[in-house]
Structures are given as C-alpha cells and as structure tokens.
Structure 1
Amino acid sequence: MTNSSEQDFDSEPVSDSDNLPDPGLPRTATSAVTGIGIGAIAQEIGLTKDTLRVWERRYGFPQPMRSAGGERLYPQEQVTKLRLVKRLLDAGHRPSKVLGQSIDVLQQLAESSGVGQDAPDAELDHLISLLRASAYEDFRFGLLKRATRDGLERFVLDVAAPLSARVGNAWAAGSLQVYHEHLFSETIQSTMRALMRPLSDALRGRGGRPRVLLTTLSGEGHGLGILMAEAMFTLSECECVQLGLQTPLHDIVDAVTAHNVDIVALSFTAVLPAQSIANGLADLRNLLPPHVRIWVGGSSPALRRKFSDGVHHIAGLTPIEETVADWRESTML
C-alpha cells in the first residue's frame, strides 16, 4: 500500500495545457515529431492525464516531445516503460521508487515481485500466441472449445482469470497491442455470457437469496472482473442484477430499491485513485439502507485498506461461494 501522499499523486491541480508551449520540455520546430498523444496514453494504460503531468513535473518521467501545436507526444520507448510502471503500481509499488528507474531495472523488479509471472499452462500459452498472431477465428474456437470442455466454474477460474493476467502482462511488455486486448475481452465476455445464460434463466424468478447487484462506479470502465464475479455468484445460486459499468451512485440506490437487492458487488482495477475508491464507497454506504451490504473485489491495491462496517473485501473469485454461504447463515439467525 502506498502512503497517503502518493495515493493522491494524480489529484494535484494542473494548470498547464496541452495546447500551450512548455519551455521546460523537449520539443521540435517541425510537425514531423511522432509519438502517442496524452489522451490515447491515458486511455490505453489506465492512467489519468493529470497523473502523467504530475509525474512529469515531480519525478522527471515521462518526458514527452511536443508537436508544433504544443501537444504532448510520447515516444514508443516511454510508452513501454509506462506500461511496466503501471503493472508495478498495481502490485503495490510506489511511484517515487519506480519512475526514475531504467526499463532493465523495472523488469528485474517485476520478476522479483512476481509481476508478469504466470503459472505454466501450454494451452493458455497457445491461445496467447494465436491472439498475438491475429489468428482471431482460431483464438475464438480454442476459447470456446476450452469453455465447452471445462464448464462455467473451471472456465472462470482456470481460463478466464489466468488468461486475463497473461494478456495484461503481455500488453505491459509491449508484445500485445490494445486491439489484441479488446478482441480478447469481447471474445471471453461473450463466451462467459453464453455459459451463464441457461443457469441465469433457471434462477430468475425463483426468489432465491441473496439478490446481488453487480456494477462498477463512475470512472471504472473495466468489466471482465465483475462478469467473472457474476459467474461465481450465479454458480452459488444467487439471483444477479447486472447494471453494466460506471453506474452513478444514485442510480445504484434506485436499482437496489427497485429490485429488492441484498448485496451490491463492485469491482475495482487500479484505474481509479485510492482516495476516489474510498470516497465512493463511503458515499454509497451512507446512501444505502443499513441491511444492504457492499462487497468489493478486484486488482486495485486500494482494496487492501480497512473499510467501514458494511463494506466487505472478497479477496479473489474462489471465496465468493463461502462468503455467500456465510451471508445465508447469518440471515437465518
């Protein structure tokens, strides 16, 4: 867990504009300079524009070039390093400890921290190679074959979760591009929904409890984690209400009332700053009735902190079944 001053590193006010000259940055007098713009970088890597600007001033990295119009442009080698930095931050490292290091040092740190190390699975490695080679139909077929053979639970735990980690690690290393990741997400989500549909349809209307509402808060645009959680809740015979991504707090509260929800399940990656997660959960807790519980999970390091009563962190997908059983037992007392 980072300390409070670095948890909020991307909330520092920024006064300079990407459209204004900055004499302190490398620049070119021509329009021939090439690189990736700050907006594309922020979206691709999952960092805010303000975060990149603050790192630039505070730590001296990244060091973008400037176009003739004054826009920040990031060379490919800096993009590669930013991907690796992001993975290390997700693993709990501090910005001040990693941003000044070379790529070689960061790769060594990643290896010693377990970042990018995957359990051996030749079949998953083959799927990644198909994705990297843009063999899309073969990739889809391989994924569907594994899903058909394994069933929903084993597919989620043994394929979807570790394959997602492999894709993220390959993307951070620069061996997969954003469009590869988008294809992966679309394919694995459609496969999981197809597996879940018969069971979800059978559960609907049975009156089984708990009734679980699944979504993400505003600013959290990654949906694979909440979909994997939905699969595990469905296998635990919960009736699930899926709201999609980035639902405003008051809409969550309205949906809880309309669907008689017992639990709000939220997923977080490291896209949102720690303080934003804490504030969002505190606000939601205050808005919801006391008997409605909030369960959170995901890869964000911010989830390691202690939350207020009524907010429970589920560390992984496997504990969902036991947590649901505990809820049922507690409501019967």
Structure 2
Amino acid sequence: MAHYSIKELEHLSGIKAHTIRIWEQRYAILSPKRTETNIRFYDDADLKNILNVSLLNERGFKISKIAKMKPDQISAEIMALSEVPGDNQGQVNALIAAMLDLNEEHFEKALNKPILQLGFEQAILQVVYPFLSKIGILWQTNNICPAHEHFVSNLIRQKLIVAIDGQVLAPSATSEKFLLYLPEGELHELALLFMNYLLRARKHHVLYLSQNLPFADLVRAFEYYQPQHIVTVLTSFPERDQVQHYLDKLAQQFHRTRILVYGHQTQYNFLKFPENIKKLQFISEFIDAVSPA
C-alpha cells in the first residue's frame, strides 16, 4: 500500500496542506492512518478522494456539500466534468485514478476523451504531459512501482504509434531531414515518439532509430542518411557525470549538423553546450524549432 504525506497530497492535488487539515477536522473528508511509530499517512484511496474533492471544489461545489455526497454521487459528478471540453485537470485526475487501479479500460476512456475533444497533438500537450509530470512526483516519492510506469507507458506508446502510422507522408518544398534516436542504455521512448509525430505532422522527413543505439551505429546511419538535424532525449543515460563528455562527443562527430537535445539529463546547470547543440527545456521549444517560420 502506498503511503503519502500531507505535503505530497498538496503537490498532487493543488490543495494546501493547511486546507486539507481543516477539511479533515471540519468535514471528515479524509481519514489519515498512522504508522507503528505514530506518523500520519494517506493511502491510494485518500489520494483519489482528494483529487476528486479538489476538482469539484474548483468547479464551484462547496466543500460542505461535497462532504455530504456519497462516493457514487462524487463519481457521477467527476464523470460529467470529464466530458466537458477543456476540463484538462479532470482528465488528468481520471488518468491518475485509472493508473493507480491498473484499470486499462478506464485509462483508455480517460485518454480517448481529450484526443477526441482537442485533437491528438493538443491532447498530449495539455493532458498527457501534465499527467506525466504528476507521475514523476509519485515516482520520486516511491508511491508507484515499475508496474504502474510500464502500464501507462505502454498504453500511451500504443496511441503514439497509431497516430504516427496514421499520418500521410507528404513532404513539402521546405521539408528537412531529421534523425531521431536514444543513446545506448536509454529506454524512455515516449518523448522521442511524440517528437517523431510532431515532425511528420509538419511534413518533415524522419529516420527514427528508437532506443538504445550504440554511438558507432549512429555514425553509420548518419553517413547514409545525411540529415540536417539530429534529435535525442537523455532521460536517464548517460549518467550525470558522463553527460558533458557525451555532448562534446556528439558535437565533435557531427560538427556541421544542428543537434537538438531534450530530457532530464540535459538540464544540469553545470553543463556547457557546444555551439551546434541546442538544449530544449520544454517540448514547446521543440515545436517552435521545427515549425515553419
């Protein structure tokens, strides 16, 4: 069973810890448990409850009214809100709840709704990225296990692959060639797949080399394909003390090519980026970099 502190509930729900305590005392919204050493904690049911309560409260429901509602009433109201176009937070919360339950049917429904309402690209940007950000909090606090990560990654990956396969290749006069890959040891593919989708949607040529590519194979593919741009995502590899060496190696080997790098391992303040490497802090920067002027 997952254990959440009140500060973790605050980060995930957006409700201040002080407010959560007041709601507990005045309305019995939550029922914190205690460890054998008398430390308060909350479980998955509490997290799902506070996510629902915070969403209803944000949409105008008074906390006193929510406290009197039965669980099935709350679920019905949340379901109605998730049907409303533009209610991104409700859709994010629905994804979190489905993930915690490992419920594929509910996850698929929660993911399909924003895709139908917003279109694929905006659904990823407005719903899936905020969802993955909250997943990061759960992962860092050890409240989800690798099974949860694999569960959501595989379902989102399937959506990305279907969307990529559904695109009609129609390069334009301004189309350029991009080589996309993940370095050896790197297996986190979702961001790179989305970049593949974004490039193809903008009618660029893409050579997609996927995960775990040895550097020698990257060099050979580059010599054959001759792209104007290389794109990679460094989420967990190379390790922290090897990132600068890897960036320098990339820059030197492909010194006439623009290289776009994204991911957690590229965000350290001590890194120095060679002239032909552009660091991307947000996916929106990638969209700007590859969209027609």
Q: Matches of 2:281 and 2:204 in 1, distance apart?
A: 19
TM-score (norm 2): 0.64
Q: CA RMSD in A?
A: 2.9
Pairing 1:124-143 to 2, within 5 Å after superposition: 124-143=92-111
Amino acid of the structure 1 residue aligned with 2:199? F
Q: Distance in 1 between matches of 2:104 and 2:290?
A: 37
1-side partners of 2:139 and 2:203: how far apart? 35
Tell me which stretches of 4 or more aligned residues in structure 1 moved more than 6 Å. none
- Cα deviation 1:266-312 (Å, max 9, x = unaligned): 10124532331211222222222x32221101122545422112111
For structure 1, list consecutive stretches of 5 or more residues without a partner in the other structure. 1-75, 85-103, 105-118
Identity of aligned residues (%): 19
Amino acid at match of 1:131: M
- Cα distance in structure 2, aligned partners of 1:272 and 1:247: 12
Q: How far does residue 212 in structure 1 lie from its aligned partner after superposition?
A: 0.9
- Residue matched to 1:166: 134
Aligned pair count reads 212
AA partner of residue 248 (structure 1): P
2:173 and 2:164 mapped to 1: Cα distance? 18
Q: Which amino acid aligns with 1:145?
A: K
Which residue of 267, 274, 277 corresponds with 1:311? 277
What is the CA-CA distance between 1:213 and the residue it aligns to? 0.9
Of 274, 281, 290 in structure 1, the residue corresponding to residue 240 of structure 2 is: 274
Aligned AA (1:183)? F
SS of alignment partner, residue 278 of structure 1? helix
Change (3 A) 1:206 1:256: farther
What is residue 31 of structure 2 aligned with on the other side?
none
Deviations 1:302-331 (A, max 9, x none): 454221121111221112232235xx77xx
Sort the Cα spacing of 1:241 and 1:178 in 2 relative to 1 into closer, same or farther, 3 A: same
Distance in structure 2 (CA, Å) of the matches to 1:183 and 1:316: 24
Aligned with residue 228 of structure 1, among 158, 171, 194: 194
Query: Which amino acid letter does the alignment assign opposite residue 237 of structure 1?
Result: K
Matched residue, 1:47: none
* Matched residue, 2:161: 193
Aligned letter for 2:219? V
**Residues 159 and 179 from structure 1, CA distance in 2 versus in 1: closer, same or farther, beyond 3 angstroms?**
same
Distance 1:301 1:280 in 2: 11
Partner residue, 1:295: 260
Secondary structure of 1:227 counterpart? helix
1-structure distance, mates of 2:151, 2:226: 35
Gaps of 5+ in 2: 9-38, 40-86
Greater relative CO, 1 or 2 (CA 8 Å, sep 6+)? 1
Whether the aligned pair in 1 keeps the contact of 2:228 and 2:258 (CA below 8 Å) is yes
Deviation at 1:261, TM superposition (A): 1.1
Question: In the superposition, relative to structure 1, how do residues 301 and 262 fare at CA in structure 2: closer, same or farther (>3 Å)?
Answer: closer
Q: Deviations over 1:208-244 (max 9, x none)?
A: 5321111111122211121222223233332221101
* Kept after mapping to 2: 8 A contact 1:232/1:317: no
Is 1:245 equivalent to 2:211 in the alignment? Answer: yes
2:242 counterpart of 1:284: no
What is the identity, as a one-letter code, of the residue corresponding to 2:206? C
- After TM superposition, the structure 1 = structure 2 runs for residues 202-213 of structure 1, keeping only pairs within 5 Å, are 202-203=169-170, 209-213=175-179
**Distance of 1:127 and 1:156 partners within structure 2:** 13
Opposite residue 98 of structure 2, the aligned amino acid is L
Distance 1:303 1:264 in 2: 21
After TM superposition, the structure 1 stretch with the greater mean CA deviation from structure 2, 210-219 or 148-157, is 148-157
CA distance, structure 2, for counterparts of residue 321 and residue 142 of structure 1? 25
Q: Which amino acid aligns with 2:128?
A: A
Partner SS for 2:284: coil
Matched position secondary structure for 1:308: coil
Structure 2 residue identity aligned to 1:299: H
| Matched residue SS, 1:294 | strand
Q: Partners of 2:179 and 2:148 in 1: how far apart?
A: 30
Q: Distance in 2 between matches of 1:128 and 1:154?
A: 19
Measure how far apart 1:252 and its partner are: 1.0
Whole-Å separation in 2 of the counterparts to 1:307 and 1:320 = 17
Q: Go from structure 1 to structure 2 and tell me whether the alpha carbon gap of 1:193 and 1:316 turns closer, same or farther (over 3 Å shift).
A: same
